Structure 1
Amino acid sequence: MMKPTFARTSPRWLTVMLSGLLSACAGGATRHAPASAEQLYGRLDQAGKSYELALQQAREGHASAAEKTLDAALDELKDAAARCPATAGCDPQRFFAVFDRLLRLKDGSFFAGDDADLVGGGPEAGHTGSEVSPAAASLPQAQRSVTLLRGQKLSELIAMNGPVKAALEMWLTQWRPNLMDAWVNYQFMRYQMWPSYQQAELPEALLFGILAKESGGKVHAVSRAGAAGPLQFMYATGLRFGLSSDGGFDQRFDPALAARANAEYLDEQLKAFNNNLELVLAAYNGGEGRIRRMVGDDPSVSLYDPRIYNQLSQETREYVPAVLAAAWLFLHPESYNLRFPKIEGAPGEIVLKRPASLTELTVCLGSAGGMYDGWFRTLRNLNPRFDPQAQQPAGSRLAVPKELEKAYAARCVDGPWPILAADLHQAVVPAVIETPSAGRPGAARVAARTRSYTVRRGDTLSSIAHRSSCASVQDLAELNGLGRQALKPGQVLRLPVCR
């Protein structure tokens, strides 16, 4: 569940590094004795080497020696960084570069205790059972967070350049609510989505980055271009990877199936682009055919090569660094003063004791488990085949977070809350009936009561009106404020209830 407080503080060594490097470099005057820039750079290099030695000692099992070496290295880094702002010719960017390099080394640290202190629970925190292999479970958390992509650390494949840094700032500022929502949504769907990536040996951080940018973890998201689902597959691409229609349900909305198709797509494109992750992400957003034509015979070319970058759409130029930045924050939240909430995402199930819709369940569950934003999004994400407004009969099985099993029994079976929820759900909203104009006798038949209808693949206003039998195409268009735009799968319409 979402706790009212956040996880414990970040590992001691990283906290010291942040305060020593970032705060000191950004600070003003210093009390330390003058030193030359070259002397500070020399101390900086030596501290970096000592830090690497501490990592090596820790990997060899010399915990005490590693701790001493680490303390000395961080003290040296902190002192040198504090002197830089007041030293003529000293460039603080040198210190930021060292911090970035050591942060990448930390991605593979074996320090005892790091597994207990990773902020936000880390990729494996709070999850037990078959989703974690025995081999992975036997390693410290910090080592499990080393996400490899074709034998290389993901962190080493993310170039900390201008576009990625700009995207980091956006995620930490204007996009921060979207990032936090994506984290919460993903944690509840993780048991459905992560296994496909794990089986394909793809980094979980990459899955989160794509999800955060594409949909924010909303499984019913549909773009203006027609891309649908949590990972935003176009219809044709979805069909290519097995996402079709199942009894009228668009499988692009299924988080488990979408993750499986996404993993297959990335595996295919990584082979085509020689494991060039930036090009693969550009292909995912802008179309693999177009990117292949740009790249030609050189799949090792950088996405930021002017010959490639200048041909990209503005959307793709922003998309690739945004995904990489979100993946980077997934790996290193504590390094950017970011705290992801603790989420208990273990899967559960309820069997309805009385008829209820997802909206009614949301009302009666309230803020159970500290979910102050309510459970509507989570219930929709875990039950993508259900119309949230349609009552499901008693005996229906719904996927829920395990913590809601007891909350459902306590709040939604008997008592005032399910009665209140049903009363609100059955409220009638009068429809505005315009005086029928000449030649439009059908308008007089538009009912005062309406119901919701989710558009399916292949639907048109004409086919929906035919099934409705009590409203014309024009009636439906006016009732829903539609012009000439085409209907999109997942779009919710109001339909008249025939009298």
Structure 2
Amino acid sequence: MTYRTARRRFIGLTSSMALIGVLTVAGTYTQAAPHPGAYNVFPMHHFWDDLQLQTMPGDTWERLRDNLQWQHRRQDARVQQWIEHYRSNPANVVEIIERARPWMAWINEQVEARGLPGEIALMPFVESSFDPQAQSHRGAAGLWQFMPGTADALGLSRQSGYDGRLDVVASTQAALDYIELQAEQWYEGDLELSLAAYNAGAGTVNRARHAAATRGEPSDYWHLQLPGETMKYLPKLNAIAAIIADPDAYGVKLPEIDDAPAFAKVPVDKPIDLAQLANLTGMRHSDLTALNPGLTNGSANPSTAEVMLVPVEQEEAVLAELSSPSPGGVPDSDRQHFVQRGDNLSAIATQHGISVAEIRQHNGLDSDVIHEGQVLSIPRRSLAAR
């Protein structure tokens, strides 16, 4: 069973009982997108449209449909209500799904590899409108809307320059681990109850089940009395799955997405400045930052991030640059300054024999404010003159 596999991974990281203790009272409590379009922060034109991807033929939607397992839920009145809600504004549904394009095939692969229902790959639609940088008013963040405490318990670090909740690869793995772990620990493999616990916390779900049993009522998700947000959670998920299963019936035109991931994972073996890497490989800086929302200060450091994501067609160029010696490759650490506690731009400029204005311009800084752990690139001109 995949649940046991996930459990073993967690035991290797921390005490299982300690982790369960934290997660019992945790939950995303997010419902970050109460309706499609709640995160309409991006234009309809997406950076992914401009990439000439060379991926294997196939359709990620067909692959997803093959993995859907909860079709019988679509007849439930609550699911039908949300189907009607979504179909009333298909443009918003399409906009959210467009935002999923960089991530959908890869997330689908991860869900399929664990033998989980395909519906789970659509959870970010409900959680965050597929916005990797979504922030809820309660403090949850990322595609999977992890609260800080839950993220900490699951090993998603939050440090200067990096937020694991925004890292799509790390947060997806953590979310799927979390779902499997709770299903095994509390619900004898019942994933619907685990999803309810993902939203409301296992403690809330377990109390509701106990109350139902006391009343002599069924204790599955569809018969429980849970917080309103959680009662809507699975109906929403099943509703969007129904639309994905038969988009023509609901007036929705899905974007074409190949079933091979459109990004590659590149190991972070040394500090990498995203702006300079983009310049050296001919990528747009905005494309690289969009793929790496977890890198919050514009750089990747092996102390915080194991991998960074690049468009699959740029993988070879990026690996070549990262392995090339100076001066052709990405600047080595002797041309970077790692900001320490107490550093300021004036002192750093004096140390490297350049002006504050040069550092600001070279690093795209709008002010003199810098942060501990930040990586500043030092212009080559100063090094040649030293």
Which residue is 1:168 aligned to? 83
Contact 2:64 2:118 survives alignment (8 Å)? no
CA distance, structure 2, for counterparts of residue 243 and residue 189 of structure 1: 19
Judge conservation of contact 2:162–2:296 (CA < 8 Å) in 1. Answer: no
- Residues 1:194 and 2:108 are matched in the alignment: yes
Please list the CA deviations of residues 331-374 of structure 1 after superposition, one character each: whole Å capped at 9, or x if unmatched.
23233232101135622699xxx98489999xx96xxxxxxxxx
Deviation at 1:161, TM superposition (A): 1.9
Distance apart, 1:144 and its partner CA: 7.1
Q: Which residue, 67, 82, 86 being the options, matches 1:147?
A: 67
Please state if 1:128 is matched with 2:44: no
The structure-2 alpha-carbon separation of the partners of 1:380 and 1:318, relative to structure 1 and needing over 3 Å to count, comes to farther
The alignment yields a C-alpha RMSD, in angstroms, of 4.6
Counterpart for residue 497 of structure 1: 368
Aligned to 1:303: 221
Find the aligned partners of 2:314 and 2:247 in 1 and give their Cα distance: 28
Deviation at 1:291, TM superposition (A): 0.8
Contact 2:163 2:295 in 1 (8 A): no
SS of corresponding position for 1:145: helix
Task: Kindly report which structure 2 residues correspond to 1:207-218, keeping only aligned pairs within 5 A, or say none.
Answer: 207-208=121-122, 210-218=123-131
Equivalent position to 2:170, from 241, 254, 257:
257
Partner of 1:330: 244
- How far residue 276 of structure 1 moved from its aligned partner, in angstroms, is 4.0
Q: How does 1:85-484 map to 2 (within 5 A)?
A: 128=56, 145-147=65-67, 153-156=69-72, 158-174=73-89, 176-208=90-122, 210-245=123-158, 248-271=161-184, 272-296=186-210, 301-305=219-223, 308-309=224-225, 312-344=226-258, 346-347=262-263, 356=275, 379-387=288-296, 399-402=309-312
Larger Rg: 1
C-alpha distance in 1 between matches for 2:279 and 2:83: 38
1:25 maps to none
CA distance in 1, matches of 2:149, 2:55: 35
Write the deviation string for residues 150-176 of structure 1: whole angstroms up to 9, x where unpaired.
xxx3213x24222211211222234x4
Paired with 1:166 and 1:232, the residues of 2 have a C-alpha distance of 24
Q: Which runs of 5+ in 2 are unaligned?
A: 1-53, 267-272, 301-306, 319-340, 347-364, 370-386
Residue pair 1:274, 1:300 contacting (<8 A) in 2 also: no
Give the length in aligned residue pairs.
259
3-state DSSP of counterpart to 1:267: helix
For the residues of structure 1 that align with 2:308 and 2:63, how far apart are their CA atoms? 36
Are the counterparts in 2 of residues 193 and 255 from structure 1 also a CA contact under 8 Å?
no
Give yes or no for contact 2:274–2:288 (8 Å, CA) kept in 1. Answer: no
Instruction: Calculate the TM-score normalised by the size of structure 1.
Output: 0.43
Could you give the per-residue CA deviations for residues 237-260 of structure 1, whole angstroms, max 9, x where no partner exists? 222222123664121111111111
| TM-score, structure 2 normalization | 0.53
Q: 1:188·1:401 contact (CA, 8 Å) conserved in 2?
A: no
Q: In structure 1, the residue corresponding to 2:197 is in which secondary structure?
A: helix
On the 8 A contact 1:231/1:262 being kept in 2, the answer is: yes
Amino acid at match of 2:65: S
| Structure 2 Cα separation of the partners of residues 251 and 226 of structure 1 | 14
Q: Is the 8 A contact 2:67 2:112 kept in 1?
A: no
Q: Aligned in 2, Cα 1:260/1:343: closer, same or farther, shift over 3 Å? A: same
Distance 1:145 1:355, change over 3 A: closer
Higher relative contact order (CA 8 A, sep 6+): 2
Q: Separation in 2 of the partners of 1:348 and 1:181? A: 24
Secondary structure in structure 2 of the residue aligned to 1:338: coil
Cα pair 2:161 2:299 within 8 Å, conserved: no
Post-superposition offset of 1:216: 1.5
Within 1, Cα distance between the matches of 2:253 and 2:174?
A: 30
- Structure 1 residues 185 and 327, CA gap change in structure 2 (3 angstroms): same
